[in-house]
Structure 1
Amino acid sequence: MTATALDKTFDPAAIEAKWYAHWESNGLFRPERPEAVPYTIVNPPPNVTGSLHIGHALDNTLQDIVIRYERLRGKDALWVVGTDHAGIATQMVVERQLEAKQDKRTNYTREQFVDKVWEWKAESGGTITGQLRRLGCSMDWSREQFTMDPHFTKAVVKVFVDLYNQGLIYRDKRLVNWDPKLKTAISDLEVETQEIKGGFWHFRYPLADGVKLDSGADHIVVATTRPETMLADMAVAVNADDPRYKSVIGKFIDQPITGRRLRIVADEHADPELGSGAVKITPGHDFNDFEVGKRAGMKPGEMLNMFDAEARVVQTADGLIPDEFFVDEERDVTIVTGTSSSTSDNFERTERIETHREIVRRGLDRFDARKLVVEKMKELGYLVPYIDKDGNEHDAEPRTVATPFGDRGGVVIEPWLTDQWYVDAATLAQPPMKAVRDGRIEIVPKSWEKTFFNWMENIQPWCVSRQLWWGHRIPAWFGPLADEHGVVTSFAEKIFVAEDEAQLRRQTEEYYGSDVKVTIEASRSDAFVHPWGVGDNPNQAILFQDADVLDTWFSSALWPFATLGWPDDTTLYERHYPNDLLISGFDILFFWDARMAMQGMHFNDQQVPWKRLYLHGLVRAADGQKMSKSKGNVVDPLGLIDQYGADALRFFMAAMESQGRDVKMDERRVEGYRNFATKLWNAARFCQSNGIGASQSVSAPAATSAVNKWIVGEVVETLAELDRAMAELRFDAAANAIYHFVWDQFCDWYIELIKGSFDDETKAVAGWVLDQILVMLHPFMPFVTEELWEKLGTRPYELIVAQWPAPEAAVDAAAKREVEWLIALVGNLRTAKNELGITPGAKLDAYLPEPSAATRAIIEGNAAAIDRLARVNAIQFAPAPAGAAMQIGAGDANIIVPLEGVIDIASEKARLEKALAVSQKEAKSLEGRLGNPSFVEKAKPEAVEKARADHAAHAAEAERLAAALARLG
């Protein structure tokens, strides 16, 4: 056995880069155990634009702990790694780079812009993967995935086409969250609600045809925070049971600005207790109104739209928006034209841009339109002013309005009625719900099941189209309709959905017939129909591909199986699907986890995508607040790694991850775990300096002494506790089990107990125990453990692929009792000395009259250790002399230690009594404050938490001082 002397100082930075490069370059993260049981996890793919944040650090640390643990247990462990193309985020990054050069996306064709995105990805898209390496993530980088890779794209296209052919994907006109800055639909996850100071306007809507309410009023009052939407109002809703309006249900209102006639409809959405009880209904621009409109018999295609993609006013279908809401302006108009050619699998387009300036009639911005609507309603006498408490008149009542903002575009989101592609999520949700109910998918913690079912049982159609250039282009083409003879008659949207050109050509020939020439153009503006043609083609149909791309959540829903080669290369897929475990934040349970379950089961013969789903909480600031840049409380994990090392940050994450609870960031704890690594390092140096090194045995060496038997038993118990915690995915329990064994049993007691008696047995046992520590701790702290593993002796393999402990030993109950008796004696005596202000090194007399046979044997067999550790002269089995004394408990023994001549009893009592009175007073004061409901309910949460912590500290100190006084009698 050859060992290398350990450096005096533990330096994390010096070992981390070295070991990660070694592991990766030697392929030690790859699953290369074909005879072993496979174990598979996939990482939630971070955005290719991303950098490591504290949430990534938690999520990936937990995954790495599991994969290293299973690898050590002999599994053929595969951790699939990759990044998401992040449609919106990536397109924004590249557009910002263009803007910095006074350039813009629309100066390029779609092809040219996408090429620029790929260039950016090649140069700058790997930031986060390098940072995951710094964290120590043992991912199989040889199989790194990207959601825009050709094989993945092929899987995405197949899934879309299959779902379409099965009637589970369709086009529909519905409201979406529309980002007017990015000009695309976005998901609920990308919407942030902010509290914004706004107004609440009240307007009179005059009843038509001379109709009046029973009260005699000739109008109905409606209120809104978005006056501009009245330009597209289509109804006024009242509650059917509201006596004020029963007589006018089915009657009409003439909207003052547009003159549009609105029907008064009965709907439960109108609450008689709120405001006037009447609600203006704009189904094309409000999610609630959309549902009211449908219940009132309005079809989505009939609902009025008053905004364009930039949230500027456009004329509604009935042409009733007044001219004042439009202006003429000069601007560049860009037309994209192009031709297409094809290969066997895909289409190649050559596009060109033509730009010219012209006068364009455009509508007002939505907020300018809001001001104009209020002005016009006021001029017409239909604005109901708000009177404040001082009698002052205002146009609107001040209100704080919960307003949706796009998390990337940063502007107010507009509900917008538009044609999009939707997945029938309600149908796909049924198998995953059944799988959770019958246990094929286990959700941990189980408390999340209720949330899962609540969402899945009420799931809405999933909008999967996005108005972007970067992403998986939707494999759908629009062409003209044909009559029953197959002759093109006029342009309309006939939809063809195909995986490749050959499939598309077969569909178009079947639909149009072989005599119609089918041409594929680049964009909608090129699509038209020639009623006559040239030569043998009397008719020509020009098709264009849908310009939209798929939502990135759609493609990432395929992650558990498309990353394994599905559908073509199934070698890895057949071995590693289903995955064993998915670890993710609870905040993407619906956006990613549930959708993986839906797609995974649908496309894999109802096999679940993973057997267990572990949902962890958020990492919050130390005071419990959510981290945000605006609050300035965001913690950079890379900064923590620079300061304390990756091992310390990883151990913190594991130790603080308690099921069902968020993690509170505490840098002092991270520092404490760096100190823990340092303590292990110093313990290993001590062992090395005393001839203790690498063990040559997986099973425990033979032990005859009590202390060696005891420590072997402690390994057995710690291993069982650790395995139990990992089986239950209780990361905090697992971390605490190994932490307390290393710090308390091994470093604080075992090393102290064996000092001065390094015989061959002890060296063998100590070396073996140190090896077990390194293996058990490795999943949590891979760098320091691998370094110690190498330095303590020559090994046939690296620690990362070592064997999980198999002690083949049992707990020796007698040895455990003996050593725990010694620990209790030494620990209690040291505590007592500290309480009474006695110098730790002071050697005291001790008496134990009439000891039990077992206790007497322990004392006689460990006299040297008691003398050295407890600083006690040989314990005398006789009554103690009269006078002040303290009593020390250990097992069934009550040892008496005389204090006469050791301390000034009277002055020590006085000191303790004074300190006790202070602590009791403080504890009582804090108890009174905490018992006051007004303080607990109204004070800041951090103030209440501090009061509780202070109360606990003073109460504990009072208890300690009372115990010290009791010792003095």
Structure 2
Amino acid sequence: MTADTSSLPAHFDPEAIEPGLVERWVEAGVGRADVASSKPKFSLVMPPPNVTGQLHIGHALDMTLQDVVVRHKRQRGYDVLWLPGTDHASIATHFVVERELAKTGDTRFTLGREEFLKRAEAWRDQSAGAIQGQLRRLGCTPDWSRERFTLDPVITRAVMRVFVSMYREGLIHRGTRLVNWDPKFRTAVSDLEVETREVEGHLWHIRYPLVEDPSRHVVVATTRPETLFGDQAVAVNGADERYRDLVGTLVALPLTRRTIPIIADDHADPEQGSGAVKITPAHDFNDHAVGQRHGLVPLDVMTVDGRMNDAVPEPYRGLDRFEARRAAVEALDALGLIERIEPKIVPQPFGERSGVVLEPRITDQWFMKTEGLAAAAGAAVRSGETTFVPANWANVFHRWMDNIEPWCISRQLWYGHQIPAWYGEDGEIFVAESEAEAADLARAHYGRDAALTRDPDILDTWFSSALWPFATLGWPEATPELARYYPQDLLVTGFDIIFFWVARMMMQSIHFQGPAPFRDIYMHGLVRDAQGQKMSKTKGNVIDPQDLIRQHGADATRMTMMILCGHGQDIRLSPDAVRPARLFANKLWNAARFAGFYRCFDGCRGAAAPVPASPANPIDAWIVAELAAVARRTLASLDEYRFSDAATGLQAFVRDTFCDWYVEFAKIALTGEDAAAADDTRAVVAWCLRTVLQLLNPFMPFVTEALWDGSAPGEALTAAQLPDFEALPARSEAHAQVEGVIALVSRIRSVRSELKVAPGKPVPLLVSAPSDAARALLDRFGPQIRRLANLSGIDVAGEAPEGSVRLAVDGTDYLLPLGDVVDFAKERARLEKELAKALKDAGSVSARLADEAFVAKAKPEVIETNRGRLVALEAEAERLRAALSLI
């Protein structure tokens, strides 16, 4: 680390500094909570990333938000527990491991359960280490000593306890139901894991002949002809006059030797198609409901991997379902049973992980009753015990909780928590936390020892992660951690898992712990590309956070995401968007080099710089008051989770007020002849810079810690106490004076720039009939105004010399005699030419946006780009008009 700020390199190099700080934080145990602390506590759990590879940009946003909060809370004097962990992610892990197996022609079934689980654990060990390294490189500081994994013994024990308890309460049961089935992974998936896509398909209109009169037929329309082998009825609406006399009669099921009845059911809509629909209870959720109403027995015609089974005619057995569709259509056509085929956009369910079309399938599964659990969770939010931020997410939460369905919690996979249920020889179920306990239950039931077989299924991954808020703290043991840190103060997560995870944690935690698990739930948006599109590998627009860190540094990556993270809004991000934050870090670096060069930290060795509450110099008083005000706003914004407000306001102050103005003011004082005044300014510079480093630390931990090392060796930035900003006065008089100086200098600089006056060329400033306030301003701050505006002098004018530019600032007229340095005729011609071009370009863009054909055909991002260009051109035209008015 750098010894002091006077020896800092010319530029901030993230790659040279950030990795070393990561190692130092790990060795020092930064982030470690103290369960015995007397400080107030603040706790949150990390949403556990899946152990299936690299962290994506969404993870980077999520983790940065949490790290900003915990660093902020530590600064405010809290004992903070940020508990990290990873999720075994059954389906995702199966996908990764089975993809590797496929390279050698193997499957999990040829490998066997035991060997497959060894491969999965090996992948987990490799991936989890990589994830931890990526989080550390991002600057995250959870309590690594308490890291958890959803298959850790302590979590497994909690999972077994919860399952057994809920089974005995009647909240978990085993039953036969229609579920979403993934033929690739050969497992049930929950409704929430279904991705519905609109795809191009067809609607086949098929003739079903009447048994009593084969010359007549009923036409049914279907998008899935391959399922007709499982048809158990044809339904018509009882009010449909066309079919009233046919209800109760039979039709011949095409391609089979079976007959099925025509039934009356409101599911058939007379206004849709022919008004008659095929009912396939084993392969459609709506048909299943119709079948239950009419006592139809479901007939499953497919295998677990989506092939036709032995219930179908021999020519179709073993065919893939889509192959069977083609073959069935050809056979129906050959028999003259296809009336017509029409193209149709079909909503089709796909597996979120597997990417294959899902199949409704009748299976034996384990289910959880959720209605009562959901009501309790909803009540916690309605009462204010738990608050969503932004508040509108509470409405989304309630809509789902108020319409919740039973949860299918079993999966036909191997990597995960195996269901703690054993079956006797007669099918009797014994649910227990261990095999020994199950054997005792069986012995009591049968009156003898009995052979038991364990259920091979595992629990849905979300079942174990639903216990995360309390299982990670040692439950079901009454641990000190559970007593101190539950319930958590905050959960930070994306809106896309509000139902998968947030709702289920609320339900399970309230049921087993009583209080709701979180005080606040902060829901952030998605990270999209610069055009607002969702990132995906297929689009090629994915941004890897590690690439951003390598290119610009972790600080710049973090700060950019926080600035862009508007309340409840999605983020539009591009690699180029990170560059300004990298430049900002370098600007801060240069401010520290300036402070070191002028020995501003000489009085700060190992101790906090004293608070300069009442500086005599109005410029010093102004910057202290301004910093106190922005600090109060920043801390309040962070307390309210308004991350963008906090980051944007703080960055603007540091860049525009402290670096661009105060540092320049301070140089004048530090190089002046008044040694006492210079010492006062040194103290103010030191206090301001160190306070800025503290305030920026949650957002930019690396550069701030590196600079803190040079400003006060021996004192840890994470342990430094924030000043009492409430105690610092506003200093309104100093504010008015300095803002007057800034307004005058800014106006002079603007005129010089517009009229192309060389930056190094001093020019005089004349003031016409100055007010008392203007005269006092010039008398008090003349040296600062002359130096910062590069003036050769300031005088009171009688009449305006020829070639003068008049500018009004705060009610006083000032004159800049520029006749000797500016060719006014040439400048007017230049400005008029530039104005004409800006107006022409603006007219072209405006016409384009007014063209309805263009707006209808153009992509949204193209329209947005044109709108932005129009705004910029109009602003440029206004600037040029103002410049012309000067001459």
Same fold (TM over 0.5): yes
In 2, Cα distance between equivalents of 1:267 and 1:733: 57
**Deviations for 1:33-57, whole angstroms, at most 9, x for unmatched residues?**
7011111111110111221111111
Deviation at 1:190, TM superposition (A): 3.8
Question: Which residue in 1 is equivalent to 2:443?
Answer: 509
Match of residue 325, structure 1, among 316, 331, 335: 316
Match of residue 773, structure 2, among 854, 858, 861: 854
Match of residue 422, structure 1, among 358, 363, 367: 367
User: Any conservation in 1 of the 2:490–2:520 contact (CA below 8 Å)?
Assistant: yes
Are 1:244 and 2:242 an aligned pair? yes
Q: Secondary structure at the match of 1:138?
A: coil
Match of residue 888, structure 1, among 780, 804, 807: 807
AA partner of residue 867 (structure 2):
R
**Within 5 A, what are the aligned runs for 1:115-134?**
115-134=118-137
Q: Aligned in 2, Cα 1:16/1:267: closer, same or farther, shift over 3 Å?
A: farther
Q: Secondary structure at the match of 2:202?
A: strand
Q: Secondary structure at the match of 2:176?
A: strand
**Deviations for 1:238-285, whole angstroms, at most 9, x for unmatched residues?**
334444334434443331223433333344433333322222121211
User: Any conservation in 2 of the 1:830–1:840 contact (CA below 8 Å)?
Assistant: no
Q: Aligned in 2, Cα 1:660/1:250: closer, same or farther, shift over 3 Å?
A: farther
Match of residue 747, structure 2, among 828, 834, 852: 828
Question: Which residue in 1 is equivalent to 2:423?
Answer: 478
> What TM-score results when the alignment is normalised by the length of structure 2?
0.95
AA partner of residue 713 (structure 1):
A
User: Any conservation in 2 of the 1:698–1:805 contact (CA below 8 Å)?
Assistant: no
Between 17-26 and 282-291, the greater mean CA deviation after superposition: 282-291
**Within 5 A, what are the aligned runs for 1:691-706?**
691-693=599-601, 694=604, 696-697=608-609, 699-706=611-618
Question: Which residue in 2 is equivalent to 1:412?
Answer: 357
Are 1:312 and 2:307 an aligned pair? yes
**Within 5 A, what are the aligned runs for 1:147-162?**
147-162=150-165
* Identity value in percent: 48
Deviation at 1:189, TM superposition (A): 4.5
Q: Secondary structure at the match of 2:428?
A: strand
AA partner of residue 59 (structure 1):
D
In 1, Cα distance between equivalents of 2:610 and 2:221: 77
> What TM-score results when the alignment is normalised by the length of structure 1?
0.87
Q: Aligned in 2, Cα 1:954/1:264: closer, same or farther, shift over 3 Å?
A: same
In 2, Cα distance between equivalents of 1:2 and 1:369: 75
Deviation at 1:107, TM superposition (A): 4.1
Q: Secondary structure at the match of 2:362?
A: strand
Between 641-650 and 504-513, the greater mean CA deviation after superposition: 504-513
Question: Which residue in 1 is equivalent to 2:562?
Answer: 654
**Within 5 A, what are the aligned runs for 1:310-709?**
310-316=305-311, 321-326=312-317, 363-385=318-340, 396-480=341-425, 491=426, 493-513=427-447, 516-519=448-451, 543-605=452-514, 607-693=515-601, 694=604, 696-697=608-609, 699-709=611-621
Between 850-859 and 305-314, the greater mean CA deviation after superposition: 850-859
User: Any conservation in 2 of the 1:885–1:900 contact (CA below 8 Å)?
Assistant: yes
In 2, Cα distance between equivalents of 1:716 and 1:240: 76
Between 192-201 and 822-831, the greater mean CA deviation after superposition: 192-201
**Deviations for 1:357-378, whole angstroms, at most 9, x for unmatched residues?**
xxxxxx3221222123223322
**Deviations for 1:863-886, whole angstroms, at most 9, x for unmatched residues?**
110110012344334444254533
Question: Which residue in 2 is equivalent to 1:79?
Answer: 82
**Deviations for 1:463-482, whole angstroms, at most 9, x for unmatched residues?**
111111111000111224xx
Q: Aligned in 2, Cα 1:229/1:18: closer, same or farther, shift over 3 Å?
A: same
In 2, Cα distance between equivalents of 1:899 and 1:154: 83
Q: Secondary structure at the match of 2:510?
A: helix
**Deviations for 1:883-935, whole angstroms, at most 9, x for unmatched residues?**
45333343343323234333222332222222212212222232232233433
User: Any conservation in 1 of the 2:397–2:498 contact (CA below 8 Å)?
Assistant: yes
Match of residue 939, structure 1, among 845, 850, 858: 858
In 2, Cα distance between equivalents of 1:929 and 1:305: 58
**Deviations for 1:495-525, whole angstroms, at most 9, x for unmatched residues?**
2111124432342233222xx2212xxxxxx
Q: Aligned in 2, Cα 1:234/1:744: closer, same or farther, shift over 3 Å?
A: same
In 2, Cα distance between equivalents of 1:265 and 1:762: 92
User: Any conservation in 1 of the 2:86–2:128 contact (CA below 8 Å)?
Assistant: no
Question: Which residue in 1 is equivalent to 2:232?
Answer: 234
Are 1:182 and 2:177 an aligned pair? no
Q: Secondary structure at the match of 2:179?
A: strand
User: Any conservation in 1 of the 2:612–2:683 contact (CA below 8 Å)?
Assistant: no
Question: Which residue in 2 is equivalent to 1:14?
Answer: 16
**Deviations for 1:3-48, whole angstroms, at most 9, x for unmatched residues?**
3621222110111111111111111210137011111111110111
Give the root-mean-square deviation of aligned CA atoms. Answer: 2.1
User: Any conservation in 2 of the 1:48–1:126 contact (CA below 8 Å)?
Assistant: no
Tell me which protein shows more helix as a share of its residues.
Answer: 2
Q: Secondary structure at the match of 2:668?
A: coil
Q: Aligned in 2, Cα 1:466/1:222: closer, same or farther, shift over 3 Å?
A: same
User: Any conservation in 1 of the 2:424–2:442 contact (CA below 8 Å)?
Assistant: no
In 2, Cα distance between equivalents of 1:122 and 1:661: 35
* Matched positions, count: 872
User: Any conservation in 2 of the 1:701–1:768 contact (CA below 8 Å)?
Assistant: no
User: Any conservation in 2 of the 1:701–1:765 contact (CA below 8 Å)?
Assistant: no
Question: Which residue in 2 is equivalent to 1:206?
Answer: 209
Q: Secondary structure at the match of 1:175?
A: strand
In 1, Cα distance between equivalents of 2:503 and 2:556: 33
Question: Which residue in 1 is equivalent to 2:675?
Answer: none
In 2, Cα distance between equivalents of 1:825 and 1:293: 83
Question: Which residue in 1 is equivalent to 2:194?
Answer: 191
**Deviations for 1:329-377, whole angstroms, at most 9, x for unmatched residues?**
xxxxxxxxxxxxxxxxxxxxxxxxxxxxxxxxxx322122212322332
User: Any conservation in 1 of the 2:208–2:219 contact (CA below 8 Å)?
Assistant: yes
User: Any conservation in 1 of the 2:443–2:449 contact (CA below 8 Å)?
Assistant: no
Q: Aligned in 2, Cα 1:3/1:918: closer, same or farther, shift over 3 Å?
A: closer
In 2, Cα distance between equivalents of 1:294 and 1:825: 82
In 2, Cα distance between equivalents of 1:880 and 1:814: 32
Q: Secondary structure at the match of 2:641?
A: coil
In 2, Cα distance between equivalents of 1:294 and 1:966: 82
In 2, Cα distance between equivalents of 1:34 and 1:256: 76
Q: Aligned in 2, Cα 1:505/1:816: closer, same or farther, shift over 3 Å?
A: same
Q: Secondary structure at the match of 1:397?
A: strand
Between 89-98 and 63-72, the greater mean CA deviation after superposition: 89-98
Between 274-283 and 57-66, the greater mean CA deviation after superposition: 274-283
In 2, Cα distance between equivalents of 1:248 and 1:781: 76
**Deviations for 1:815-845, whole angstroms, at most 9, x for unmatched residues?**
1111111111111211122112222333233
In 2, Cα distance between equivalents of 1:659 and 1:57: 17
User: Any conservation in 1 of the 2:609–2:683 contact (CA below 8 Å)?
Assistant: no
Deviation at 1:108, TM superposition (A): 4.5
Match of residue 801, structure 1, among 701, 711, 719: 719
User: Any conservation in 2 of the 1:719–1:805 contact (CA below 8 Å)?
Assistant: no
Q: Aligned in 2, Cα 1:250/1:762: closer, same or farther, shift over 3 Å?
A: farther
Deviation at 1:734, TM superposition (A): 0.8
Deviation at 1:102, TM superposition (A): 4.9
Question: Which residue in 2 is equivalent to 1:3?
Answer: 4
**Deviations for 1:802-826, whole angstroms, at most 9, x for unmatched residues?**
2234233121001111111111111
User: Any conservation in 2 of the 1:578–1:609 contact (CA below 8 Å)?
Assistant: yes
In 1, Cα distance between equivalents of 2:760 and 2:210: 97
User: Any conservation in 1 of the 2:768–2:812 contact (CA below 8 Å)?
Assistant: no
Between 679-688 and 908-917, the greater mean CA deviation after superposition: 908-917
Between 895-904 and 608-617, the greater mean CA deviation after superposition: 895-904
Match of residue 59, structure 2, among 34, 56, 81: 56
User: Any conservation in 2 of the 1:47–1:85 contact (CA below 8 Å)?
Assistant: yes
